[in-house]
Amino acid sequence: MRVLVVEDARSLAAVLAEGLRDQGMAVDVAHDGLEAAAKLDLNPYDVVVLDRDVPGIHGDTLCRMITERDHRVMVLMLTAAGTPGDRVSGLALGADDYLAKPFHFPELILRIHALARRQPAARPRTLRAAGIELDPVRRVATRDNRHLNLSVKEFALLEALLRATPAFLSTEDLLEQVWDEYADPLTNTVTVTISRLRRKLGAPDIITTTPGIGYRITG
Cα separation, 60 vs 50, whole angstroms? 9
DSSP 58-101: -HHHHHHHHHTSSS--EEEEEES--SHHHHHHHHHTT-SEEEES
- Say what the pLDDT of residue 176 is: 85
What are residue 169's phi and psi, to 5 degrees? -120, 130
Give the C-alpha distances (Å, rounded to integers) separating 24 from 8, 27, 102, 153, 170: 23, 9, 23, 6, 19
What domains lie within the chain, and their CATH numbers? 2-118 (3.40.50.2300), 127-217 (1.10.10.10)
Residue 42, Cβ density class (10 Å: 0-12 exposed, 13-18 middle, ≥19 buried) = exposed
20-29 core/surface letters (b: 16 or more CB in 10 A; e: else): bbebbbbbbb
Closest to 131 measured CA to CA, from 121, 141, 143? 143
Dihedral sign, CA of 93, 60, 178, 18? negative
Cα separation, 153 vs 147, whole angstroms? 17
- Say what the pLDDT of residue 90 is: 67
- Say what the pLDDT of residue 126 is: 85
Please tell me the pTM assigned to this model.
0.70
- Say what the pLDDT of residue 121 is: 58
- How do the pLDDT tens digits run along the chain, 219 residues long? 899 999 999 999 999 999 999 998 999 999 999 999 999 998 889 999 999 889 999 999 999 898 887 777 999 998 876 566 767 776 778 889 999 888 999 999 999 999 988 876 555 678 999 999 999 878 899 999 999 999 999 999 999 999 889 899 999 889 888 987 777 766 789 999 999 999 999 999 999 999 989 999 997
